[in-house]
Structure 1
Amino acid sequence: MPHHVTVGVDGSPESRAAARWAAQEADVRHVPLRLVHAVDWPLDPVFPGLGRQDVDRWADQALTEAVDELHQRHPRLEITTRCLAARPAAALASEAADAGLLVLGSRGLGGLVGFIVGSVALSTLVATGTPVVMVRVADDPDSPRIGSGSEVVLGVDIHESCDRVLAFAFEEAARRNCVLRAVHGWKMPTAYRYVPFFDPDAEQDIGRSVTHMVDDMLLPWRHKFPDVDVSHSVFMGSAGDHLVRASHGAQLVVVGRHLRRSPLGTHLGSVAHAVLHHAAAPVAVVAHE
């Protein structure tokens, strides 16, 4: 079976939005969709008096309602379900192991743009090497639709070997038949802080050098995906801030994170963290070595 798309479902508006986005992605990839519902049993004392049968009935209802809605939107899509009694983060990470993509829902920041990334979503994201897409209720796939012509925005790090991130972004742009916009931010070397007479031409020279490095990084992928229209934006400043600004009107923002083997640390860099919490579009986080 080809790599399927997995999505976490719990009956909430956030998970329903994630399921709709995941179904659309599975449809355009021509792969099955798997809905996963996980409950950490027992729920007492959080929900006193709630029995196991009640929990099972609630889970079945959430999955049934999601399947019915998605089949109405995508009648030919193959949909399977999994209901697990386990910690949600561990269950979702385990279910993502054989998936091509994991999709999770997240609450928006009210009238502000951005995400509230809960502990389950964050724990799941750092526990799997599978690409993860975070979706908000506001990211309902009815508008815009895949292929509407807006951009896929990619955060590029010239100091890392991130072929998995580049491959994912180019593939998504090709599926959507839209522009891929690569973004890279750079900073002046620390030593320049101590130069008493700074030469402004040095900044321009560094900027041109960085631009050439970005071009060199993208070149093999331009050849591999000749039909993808690629643009890039290289600037001095915070990559996270620029990616957040670029996310307005984008179909998807793609960033990388280090695949760390140690259990210590957040496993998310500052750029991925900023984009996850403040982007105005769904965010794909792709792990790389």
Structure 2
Amino acid sequence: MALAADAPVVVGVDDSTQSLTAARLAAKEAAAHHRPLRIVHAFNWLADPSSPLEGELRDPAERLLNRAARAATEAEPNVRLSCALIEGPALTTLLRESGSAALLVMGDGGLAGQTAVPIEALSVQIAARAGCSVLVVREQSPPAGPVLVGIDCGAGTPTALTFAFDAAAWRPAELVVLRVWEADDPSEEPDPSVAEELAEAVAPWQERCPEVRVTQRVRAGDSKQILLDESREAGVVVVSMRGEQPSRSMLGALSQTLLYHSPAPVVIVRTPHELYVQA
């Protein structure tokens, strides 16, 4: 199903400073693609006599929405903006919003600073189950580095390259396309056919976007560690949701590693067969 022309960039916000960073980046994404920006906060309260009055909870929620809206308009004054205060759990709310979004942006909730990451963490659940690509923002702003995309020349490669070339074009930034060759012997040089396959995969996108400066790299070793190391110099990292194993029910090993440990913002892109799962 084709994406609607007016599908918004949606950003989920809470009372953290990370949400302001997410709102700014979401505004830039929306402006670059001439899409509206929708700022969403899930407002969950219990309607019983012992709970605080609704206004006592709603007023702070509206203030944080206003703060996020100001941050977004400061980043992109002309972005088309709307805000929504939605009653319900954050997971359910954001999954529903993702079903009609062009992109969902959110903070990682401190994910990158944890040594043991619970699978029920909100950003993990959203990245695994959303109905659109998900951009997960970090606490610290990234350096003005290249767009890094890791590909395996499998089913998710076209979607990852489309997003990565587009991201590099509007920033503008160099695009680094990385292919890792996993050999039994780490000292073994990659087979020349691996670089040839990479060049063949990249060529159609380079022809469509000749203004994007592209560096192609083939490295031998463990794909998770190599991509994580490369991500330390990147402005944003793009990776397919499940790599070459689309039958998995959750995130693939590579996307999990980057989501948990990369210091750069991470985009988990989805192919059309990776369906939205409602909470």
User: Could you state the TM-score of these two structures normalised by the residue count of structure 1?
Assistant: 0.81
2:112/2:261 contact within 8 Å kept: no
Matched with 1:195 is none
User: How large is the Cα RMSD of the aligned pairs?
Assistant: 3.0
Matched with 1:170 is 165
Matched with 1:152 is 147
Matched with 2:30 is 26
Letter in 2 for 1:276: L
Q: How far apart are the structure 1 equivalents of 2:212 and 2:75? A: 28
Render the CA deviation track for 1:73-94: whole Å, top value 9, x for unaligned: 4322221011111221121121
Q: How far apart are the structure 2 equivalents of 1:139 and 1:59? A: 25
Letter in 1 for 2:191: G
Deviates more, 1:35-44 or 1:150-159: 35-44
Alignment map for 1:47-86 (pairs within 5 Å): 49-86=51-88
Distance 1:110 1:156, change over 3 A: closer
Matched with 1:106 is 108
Name which of 218, 231, 242 aligns with 2:202: 218
Query: Where is the strand percentage greater, Structure 1 or Structure 2?
Result: 1
Distance 1:272 1:12, change over 3 A: same
Quick check: 1:9 aligned with 2:13? yes
Name which of 131, 134, 142 aligns with 1:132: 134
Quick check: 1:277 aligned with 2:279? no
Aligned pair count?
A: 264
Percent identity among equivalent residues? Answer: 30
Q: How far apart are the structure 1 equivalents of 2:165 and 2:51? A: 51
User: Shift of residue 41 of structure 1?
Assistant: 3.4
Name which of 177, 184, 187 aligns with 2:179: 184
User: Shift of residue 110 of structure 1?
Assistant: 8.2
1:169/1:180 contact within 8 Å kept: yes
Larger C-alpha radius of gyration, 1 or 2? 1
Q: How far apart are the structure 1 equivalents of 2:30 and 2:106? A: 14
Give the secondary structure class of the aligned counterpart of 2:140. helix
Give the secondary structure class of the aligned counterpart of 1:138. coil
Alignment map for 1:247-262 (pairs within 5 Å): 247-258=231-242
Runs of at least 5 residues in structure 1 that lack an aligned partner in the other structure: 145-149, 193-199
Q: How far apart are the structure 1 equivalents of 2:112 and 2:181? A: 32
Distance 1:280 1:116, change over 3 A: farther
1:107/1:117 contact within 8 Å kept: no
User: Shift of residue 135 of structure 1?
Assistant: 0.4
Render the CA deviation track for 1:89-144: whole Å, top value 9, x for unaligned: 1211211222211101024478899x99971111122222311011012027xx64
Distance 1:152 1:5, change over 3 A: same
Give the secondary structure class of the aligned counterpart of 1:50. coil
1:181/1:231 contact within 8 Å kept: yes
Give the secondary structure class of the aligned counterpart of 1:56. helix
Matched with 1:196 is none
Runs of at least 5 residues in structure 2 that lack an aligned partner in the other structure: 274-279
Distance 1:215 1:88, change over 3 A: same
